[in-house]
Homo-oligomer: A and B are copies of this chain.
């Protein structure tokens, strides 16, 4: 099979490949014979007629330079929506209706501020565009009621602005992508330690704007916990926050910017906690008889303060499918039960002590040690999941993920409720499915649950997924859990955000939005219900 054009796929074109045979066998067996489902070509994507008249655009060119104002088809296509499965399905079908009219690449905070001001003046919707990896519709701004839509590409904000080695802090511009952040900090011996699956293509500003959480969050903490300060361009002026590691100077307004998804301003710089690059990194695997036993064990660890850098517990199905190692999906060793990946990063002594303490507790709780093999395999494949999704979409298999978090006492019942809701919602439409789950982020009081849903694609896969996703979201809300642990709100989670924060919370978000962004041009339709 030929690999389809890359523009509607994830990541590095050189890494795109047909579905591996092992995985093909698995889905063939589960869903019956597969057929190619290829995307249209880039040129065939239908975009809205550009809405902004040339004389209006001249003003923009004066602000950032003519060469940084882009109107061409390909640039517009590449700044359309994000990387959720619905986003990919729409693009593969040639639906570019959410494309921006113009893509602008400002050089730094002042130019961003000028473009923000310009958008307010011309009533142009502004979509901050970092890595473009949103999976919740966070880049599909509302078009109606606006003179046009502008994508503010932050890729030129790519500097390490300052590094304070004594304090262990760094200021990074918002457009810096994950690998570049690690490389810039690594030159000084530091790491951020933030490695979400989107790491290779997501940006510092995006991590902040969506409250991202990485695969090593047990050790390094969620992105929001790494943020000490923020610089934001808003329609009513520049907003700088963060004067100390902690403060009692009123509400923590940084926490209002974190998770604001472009609705309250454009984040241009982030001050972050950094740590010395760990000289040692070890990952290993453990097997539990059941998901419940594994969950109890990771709870025991984190409540005892014995916290490895990485803790990821797959459920029985994910273990059987071997999803933690995408290149080997379907080719698991068949040991059964549930596999837990633990990782330890740091100084040799600390790693050894933590590894020993973890191992002793896990063994006492019934885990069988699997050695470093599964750990190394997980580490190799940790960013590869989205490539596998593309390959599955190519053969008519729908794959999407969703996630939530709750307290420990509710975790297993939430797990059952969400799984059941999704499987039933798909079966009700005649689509057989596999729902795989894992715990990826743990806290003393609870954990996240992450689900990967694999289903036979029906004639209208967008409608198919909407039904399944809605069922999952209703189950999450009914259980009193959060609608999203690390993907964000965007457009997709808006109704459940409103339930979660209540009418008073909605009023507060609206009040902040209206005060900061009186003309309503900042990512309209996103986040704020």
Contacts and interface: CB of A to CB of B under 8 A. Distances in A.
B236 A507 contact: yes
Interface string A250-272: 11111111111100100000000
Given A167-B408, A408-B167, A508-B512, A258 B252 contact: yes
Contacts of A241: 501-502, 505
Contacts of A441: 246
A484 B251 CA distance: 12
A445 B249 CA distance: 18
B501 A245 contact: no
A238 interface: yes
Contacts of A249: 259, 482-484, 489, 493, 496-497, 500-501
Interface in A141-176: 164, 166-169
A207 to B, nearest CB: 11
Interface in A472-526: 480-489, 493, 496-497, 500-505, 507-512, 514-516
A241 B506 CA distance: 12
A497 B243 CA distance: 11
A350 B306 CA distance: 10
Interface stretch (A54-62, A68-76, A399-407): A399-407
Copies of the polypeptide in the assembly? 2
Contact of A243 (B252, B482, B493): B482
A11 interface: no
Residue of A254, A261, A406, A446 contacting most chain B CB atoms (<10 Å): A446
Interface string A217-252: 000001010001000101011111101111111111
Nearest to A483: B249
Interface stretch (A2-10, A15-23, A208-216): A208-216
B255 A252 contact: yes
B501 A250 contact: yes
A53 interface: no
A10 to B, nearest CB: 20
A509 to B, nearest CB: 7
B502 A239 contact: yes
Contact of A305 (B299, B350, B481, B503): B350
Given A250-B489, A252-B258, A259-B251, A405 B245 contact: yes
Contacts of A248: 210-213, 259, 482, 484-489
Residue of A166, A410, A443, A497 contacting most chain B CB atoms (<10 Å): A166
B255 A251 contact: yes
Given A252-B259, A405-B246, A408-B167, A515 B505 contact: no
Nearest to A479: B243
A505 B486 CA distance: 26
Contacts of A239: 502, 504-505
B167 A446 contact: yes
A350 to B, nearest CB: 7
Given A245-B445, A253-B509, A256-B256, 4 more contacts: A244-B485, A247-B484, A252-B256, A507-B515
The 9 A-B residue pairs with the shortest CB-CB distance in the complex, in nearest-first order: A255-B255, A511-B515, A245-B443, A239-B504, A244-B405, A211-B248, A167-B407, A247-B482, A244-B482
23 contacts: A164-B409, A166-B299, A166-B408, A169-B407, A211-B247, A222-B246, A224-B252, A236-B507, A244-B485, A245-B444, A245-B446, A248-B484, A248-B486, A248-B488, A249-B483, A250-B260, A250-B488, A253-B505, A254-B255, A255-B255, A273-B445, A305-B350, A512-B512
